[in-house]
Structure 1
Amino acid sequence: MSAKPLMTAGRQPTARRLLLVLAALLTALLAGAAPAAAHAALIRTDPGEGSVVPSAPSRVLLTFSEGVLLSADSLRVLDPSGKEVQQGGAEHASGATDTATVRLRPGVGNGTYTVAWKAVSADTHPVSGAWTFSVGAPSKTSAAVPRQDVGGGPAGVLYGIGRYVAYGGFALLVGSCVFLAVCWPRGVRLRAMRRLAVGGWAAMAVSTLALLLLRGPYVNGTGLGGMFDLGAVRSAIETKPGAALLSRLLLLAAAAVFLSVLFGAASSRAAASGPPDERSPESSAGRRNLAIGLGVGGAAVAIGLAATWSLAEHASVGIQPGLAMPLDVLHLLSMAVWLGGLAALLTALYRAAGIERQAVRRFSRIAFGCVCLLAATGGYQAWRQVGSWDALVATWYGQLLIAKVALVAVVIGAAYVSRRWTGRLADQDLPEEEPEPVPATATSADPARAAQLARQHAALATARVRKRRDADPGRTGLRRSVLAEAAVAVVVLAVSTVLSGTEPGRAVEQAAAAAAAPGAVPVSGGPVFAAIPYDTGGPNGKGIASVHLDPARTGDNELHLIITDPAGNPVDVPEVDLSLTLRSKNIGPLPVKLSHAGTGAWTAISVQLPMPGQWQLSLTVRTSDIDEVTETKNVAIG
């Protein structure tokens, strides 16, 4: 009679904790589902944006800040009446992957022409935009450019969720298998542990298939009805990201074989187990060879799965890709072994009757090694992707990276507490999760009565095991600290997912530098990063104002302003004002209400821009009562 209150009281706090973890998961999913920022910026066009050429060109040429992937309809040129005048499909000019060109039909007349373009950055993220040029003289145009919501809309939201689930499934699959194979082989026989590994595999399989179907709508900005367009799926498979997703599905088939052999071997060992002196040398050698085969095969599959991300995303572009890709694979594997193993340990502590202290210590040592690898590889990737201290605080990528580092520090702190509780564990020989067999005295000639007695016996046996397990205060404290680790780890994984879909700080700065070059066009249809030097003429009057406007489109925008001294250190000034003016339409100046957010930092959450065009950004900085200067910078709002 006393067992039931004990079990009920134990389940209530556990349920509350699991609800907290679920709430953190939902919050992370919503954060990770935001559309990805543009990674390739249009920096130059021929003819130039807004230019007037005396005669019709033979082709249109676009140059980007990095390599892009093109499709046949990546470039559309519309005459003043809205009729398409391009000839053939888009292609790279002279094989240069950072260009896109398309030929124009002969006999193109005078007037204003609209160029609508879309492409996929080399790190898989789609970009799009539109611009105009005129032949002979500008004219009115009725060309209606269709909305190209590439990377956004419902397809973008679902694609972001799918990427999060894929990362989570990878961590569960790899981490739980390493935990069971290396730290706690006895746990393979438990149903809860097998379900965890299979759940990770299923999450990866479903999310990867969904990503492959969503790739077309995500890249082309079409509705979700395009998910089942076989032509779009075939076109997606022919690209680098599509091929990576297809390879992931094939590797998951191999992972399914690995899981079946791993679980089957565990069942065979349990069925054929006997006293050590009765086991033949042949069976021991066979088990050793099987373990080696499983280790080599599992490692190959895990490395292949990690490579499907590294070969198609941030690590494959930018500086030092030959070094970045293998280090990124190592980073992903370390993340999976640590976070997935953490989930496996949490499952064992809550669902299994008991886990040996030695198994927990073994995982603790492995987790420490993974954290060291994560710090080393993550530090290199941060240097490679951020590029400068200014970009670390002035770009969305840098701010997310700071948040990730802070969250990882919290997880490491919780892990330290868990390590202390591990040393207090009572090393008891606890029975397995399955109940003991029904004694002969509990049997009955009536099958229904016998089944009832069996259920009662199983419930009592489970209650006795849990009571004995929960009597260890070290085990209770360990469960709580590991639960805290897992809850924060869920958010870390969400931030990592958003990071992989955010434009790196180095790319933002390079795009800004390229846009400032002679003959360049301002970045449109995506975030704008502008570095504005100023000199008020007085003491400490020199510095740099870094402005980040996102998404730099009509409607609601967010603006971040960072002021630094010549050495790059954030500094406060007595007064700073900012306004935007669209001179071509006599709009403005529109003042921007800035809020002080920290040393040298100001933000404006809602900057309303009524229409697209070439806006002039005016920045006034006052460093003393009499020293003041106003600087201007043109930015394109798409």
Structure 2
Amino acid sequence: MTAAAPSRPGTRGLRLLAPVLLALLTLLGPTQPAAAHAELVSTTPSDGAALAEAPATLELRFNEPVGLIDGAIRLLAANADPTPLRATVTDATVIVELPELAADASHAVAYRVASADGHPVSGVVSFTVGDAAPGAAPSAASGTPAATELLVRVLSGLLYLGLLAFAGLVFATRLVLRGAGASSRSLLVAERWSLAVAGGAAVLLVPASGLRVVGAALAAVFDPGAWAPGVSWPVVAVAILVVVLGWSAHLLGGARTGGLAPRGGLAVGLAGAAAVSPALVGHTLAYNPPVMLVADAGHLLAGSFWFGGLLAMLLFLHSRPGRDEARAALVRFSRAALGAVALLAVTGTGMAVLVLGSFENLVGTPYGRLLLVKVMVVAAVVLLATWVRFRLLPTSRSLLRFFRALRYEAALLVAVALLTGFLANTSPSHGHLHGAQQVSVQSQGLAVEGSLAPSAVGTNTFSFTLLFDGAAVESGDVAVSFRLPEQDLGPVAAVVEPRPDGSWAATVDLPAAGEWEAQVAARVSKFERPIAVLKVTVG
């Protein structure tokens, strides 16, 4: 005896879920273009500096390696078109060659570079030369148009949705159904359509991501010369891998070959390789790549088996199999799904720790809040799956109840896949927690004013000015050290260097988060060496 399944699996659940998901994305995802993960740490000359002579170069220092974009660093003028400038990059430092600048005038340079995770970062540095009053910097349209950013996020969501579904369908057909559903044409159709969605999204992401990096509008998508400078090799590699490996796996048998025969085993391997290809782009490249790459690959494989496996089981049950055959397949899938859930939990937690670093960043940044939404949806799926495995499966003989439970589980995992796509294109920038922190203090006649960036564990730059009794300190004998009293760390000595504009830069490696004390000492005469102490927060 068999139970008839509904003819439209999951449709109602998806209709109910879609508006809720869109509302959450609207509320929690930034409405403006996402800030890049890379952050500007300091510049020479510093922003807003008053210089006696025009500098020959502008130095931009970021907190991670960045890449140049053709024609994206420009000298701005109030009554003329921006002038593209030549620049070179070494790791996290960009050196911009400046032309001969007019004296007694204000100048501004607009920059736009690509961070390691593919997000663009832009801004303007202004300074004055000679006897010139500082004024507002000329405007530069250096942000990413909202429509372009939205397109990249939507395509990323479709890429994850299609790819996880396709790979999971292949996995479940070989490892769970073992030929039981091989005759179901619906499995073949589902494979083909999910792969078409993933491949189409991956290919379209090439020009779309290029448009985002260069900051161009959607209308420029028909002009390869406009978006080609912003295309990175990982995005192209993902498109090639998804299309070539995916279609190879499908053509090797797809749903038509059961078990782990050589042909079926190769299809599983190719589908798995295609599923992990998105790990080549996004935040994986910005945080300890070897560890993140392994964690991201495991996360994608586990998600593929869970999501695509659910779709396979729904299609299998829809084909009206025998009761014993259906229960045997459900038992195999539920056991394997538990392992996939465990792998998801371990890899997801590891990546969250590496990317966010603290609980404050989990609740205090758009990326962290969006991640919390994903965790809550996954928790709901886990509860539902646990109920099916340990309560429904041992006691119920109704295939219809299994079908309904699995379609709701699949609908929730659609939301997880879409959220994953949005997370991949939301910067985990830690905002004020990991940005430039302004500090100032006056002690023993010594006035210190400056900023610490990025105010995070690791390498930081303390950019500051020194005045003693109202006059600039010109002595080269300046020392800066840091202490963390609550952990009895320090003093940690900083490397101090003077800058051409009369300010100072101290580079230091801070090994822990907390309330640090920065001690600044300057030799102002043979017998005087005043000391000032500032407090800074490192996240």
Give the alignment's TM-score, normalised by structure 2.
Answer: 0.73
Task: Tell me which amino acid in the other structure corresponds to 2:272.
Answer: A
Checking the alignment, whether the CA contact within 8 Å between 1:81 and 1:142 is kept in structure 2 is no
Distance 1:12 1:119 in 2: 48
Quote the offset at 1:480 in angstroms: 1.9
Residues 100-499 of structure 1: pairs in structure 2 closer than 5 A: 100-106=94-100, 108-139=102-133, 144-150=138-144, 152-184=145-177, 185-237=179-231, 239-240=232-233, 243-263=234-254, 266=257, 291-306=261-276, 308-318=277-287, 320-350=288-318, 352=320, 356-419=326-389, 420-424=391-395, 426=397, 474-499=398-423
Distance 2:413 2:296 in 1: 19
CA 310–18 in structure 1, closer or farther in 2 if over 3 Å, else same: closer
Unmatched 5+ residue regions in structure 2?
Answer: 441-447, 455-485, 488-534
Q: Deviations over 1:106-149 (max 9, x none)?
A: 35433111111111221111221223111113358797433223
Checking the alignment, whether the CA contact within 8 Å between 2:159 and 2:421 is kept in structure 1 is no
RMSD, aligned α-carbons? 3.5
Task: Indicate the residue corresponding to 2:88 in structure 1.
Answer: 91
Task: Tell me which amino acid in the other structure corresponds to 1:310.
Answer: A
CA 265–188 in structure 1, closer or farther in 2 if over 3 Å, else same: closer
Quote the offset at 1:249 in angstroms: 2.5
Checking the alignment, whether the CA contact within 8 Å between 2:183 and 2:256 is kept in structure 1 is no
Task: Indicate the residue corresponding to 1:64 in structure 2.
Answer: 62
SS state of the match for residue 294, structure 1? helix
Distance 2:121 2:252 in 1: 44
Checking the alignment, whether the CA contact within 8 Å between 1:110 and 1:136 is kept in structure 2 is yes
Quote the offset at 1:168 in angstroms: 0.3
CA 140–399 in structure 1, closer or farther in 2 if over 3 Å, else same: closer
CA 13–233 in structure 1, closer or farther in 2 if over 3 Å, else same: closer
Task: Tell me which amino acid in the other structure corresponds to 2:387.
Answer: V
Identical residues among aligned pairs (%) = 28
Distance 2:94 2:153 in 1: 27
Distance 1:515 1:59 in 2: 27
CA 502–10 in structure 1, closer or farther in 2 if over 3 Å, else same: closer
Moved more, 224-233 or 349-358: 349-358
Task: Tell me which amino acid in the other structure corresponds to 2:15.
Answer: L
CA 423–506 in structure 1, closer or farther in 2 if over 3 Å, else same: same
Distance 1:403 1:264 in 2: 34
- Is 2:20 the counterpart of 1:51? no
Moved more, 29-38 or 60-69: 29-38
Distance 2:24 2:199 in 1: 21
Checking the alignment, whether the CA contact within 8 Å between 1:28 and 1:491 is kept in structure 2 is no
Distance 2:186 2:347 in 1: 33
User: Quick one: which of 13, 19, 43 aligns to 2:15?
Assistant: 19
Task: Tell me which amino acid in the other structure corresponds to 1:198.
Answer: R
Task: Indicate the residue corresponding to 2:35 in structure 1.
Answer: 37
SS state of the match for residue 125, structure 2? strand
CA 309–214 in structure 1, closer or farther in 2 if over 3 Å, else same: same
CA 518–382 in structure 1, closer or farther in 2 if over 3 Å, else same: farther
Task: Tell me which amino acid in the other structure corresponds to 1:202.
Answer: A
CA 507–126 in structure 1, closer or farther in 2 if over 3 Å, else same: same
User: Quick one: which of 69, 75, 92 aligns to 1:77?
Assistant: 75
Task: Indicate the residue corresponding to 1:433 in structure 2.
Answer: none
Task: Tell me which amino acid in the other structure corresponds to 1:117.
Answer: Y
Unmatched 5+ residue regions in structure 1?
Answer: 1-5, 270-286, 427-473, 524-565, 568-631, 634-638
Quote the offset at 1:247 in angstroms: 3.9
SS state of the match for residue 186, structure 1? coil
SS state of the match for residue 131, structure 1? strand
CA 28–482 in structure 1, closer or farther in 2 if over 3 Å, else same: farther
SS state of the match for residue 356, structure 1? helix
Task: Tell me which amino acid in the other structure corresponds to 1:209.
Answer: V
Distance 2:11 2:294 in 1: 41
Quote the offset at 1:519 in angstroms: 5.1
SS state of the match for residue 216, structure 2? coil
Q: Deviations over 1:514-542 (max 9, x none)?
A: 9999754889xxxxxxxxxxxxxxxxxxx
Moved more, 170-179 or 222-231: 222-231
Quote the offset at 1:353 in angstroms: 5.1
Q: Deviations over 1:145-203 (max 9, x none)?
A: 332232x4111111110000001011111111111111112323212111111111001
Checking the alignment, whether the CA contact within 8 Å between 2:437 and 2:453 is kept in structure 1 is no
Checking the alignment, whether the CA contact within 8 Å between 1:74 and 1:119 is kept in structure 2 is yes
